[in-house]
Amino acid sequence: MVFDSTIIENGGIIREILDAVNDGVLLVRRDYKIVYQNKAFGQLYGNLVGKTCYKALHGRDLPCVDCVNREVCKDGKHRRKVRHISLRDGSTAWVETCCSPFKDKDGNVIGAVEAIRDVTEKKLAEELLEEALIERNKALERLHHDLAEAAKYVKHVLPHPIASGPIRTDWRFFPSASVGGDTFGYHWIDDTHFAIYLIDVSGHGVGAALLSVSVTNVLRSHTLSNINYRKPQEVLGALNHAFPGEEHNDMFFTAWYGVYNVSKRTLEYASGGHPPALLISASASCEIETELLRTPNPALGVGADIQFKSKIVTLNPSSLLYIFSDGVYEINQKDGSIWGFKKFMDFVTHSLSFESSILKQLTDHALRLTQKGYFNDDFTILEIKAA
């Protein structure tokens, strides 16, 4: 905005308008002498008309090195600056100064007009926001560290793949970006019985991860009392009793637990709210047969005194068993649709090989579907081969 010098000479309505605004207004000549101030400016500094701005405002004997008025007088361009100032009562304030050229009747720049606004509250709010952001970032760093430690611990307790023997295993486990609640395990109960299990706790985060690891540790260490670990229905019932949701932040979990009898080639299994396992085998006529292994039991931790049921199936030679969480097929595709269980099952059966694992093919395909290179939920799948 350009101000003509006649406002000083004629006064009138222009002066009344300037005195009515809340921002301080100051007119300074090229020689740094203050020739006009409005009422708002006088309330901040007192009457400074006739004094040099650097002496009256800053207590200096020479013009300020970074003087905004001088720069405006040189090129006639508008300037804006936020600075910290001292007031006449000894306090300090943050002010925003907007400085424009002040011209005479012929258009020559003879000074500068400053509009000064107190932005102390805004500045303090910005500082508080900045401090809050710093604290938030620190909290996020701690959270990311805790999540990384939780993911590391979950991976640490997972079993190694088994490459030889009557039972061979392979698996893929990709924790979600926010750490989920998937864990799994397998171990020999005795020389004949081999236990296989997968746990999926509701929700994400450290709490879900730690609960899933706790459940898996209980299964691995056989710390549940008065049950037969060769009986899946007893195991799920004991887990349901040992981990009620109300004592674990209302979290529940799904589970698939099976016991393979090597000598009889039978698999006894029970699932609680969990996706069905896929049992794939070749018939006598060399046709591929697929069976879904699931029992009608609820998720664990949602209710007490539930009678869990189990089933038994006989495995043909070279049978393949796939146990997984819903993260392997509930994948958001580029078009927004979900890949889904049927397409997942079709991919497994069409890619099937009784000689080598297909898990790398599966995970590579699933990652391509995401278009992101990571999974929103834990991607967990076991491949068990009974020789």
Continuous segment of H or E residues that includes residue 193: strand 193-201
Note the pLDDT tens digit of each residue in 166-222.
999 999 998 876 666 889 999 999 999 999 999 999 877 777 888 888 899 999 999
Note the pLDDT tens digit of each residue in 123-138.
888 888 888 888 888 8
Gyration radius of the chain's alpha carbons: 38
- E runs forming strands in 220-378: 253-261, 266-272, 277-282, 288-293, 311-314, 319-324
Dist. CA 159–CA 211, nearest whole Å = 18
- The answer to whether residue 156 scores a pLDDT higher than 80 is no
Whether the CB-CB separation of 85 and 95 falls below 8 Å is answered with: yes
Q: Which of 14-28, 149-163, 285-299, 319-333 has the highest mean pLDDT?
A: 319-333
pTM here?
0.65
Q: Which is more confident, 114 or 328? A: 328
Among all chains, which residue has been given the structure tokens 């190694």? 160
Beta pairing partners, 3? 102
- 119-143 burial: b if 16+ Cβ within 10 Å, else e: beeebeeeeeeeeeeeeeeeeeeee
Q: Which of 211, 234, 210 is nearest to 222 (CA)?
A: 234
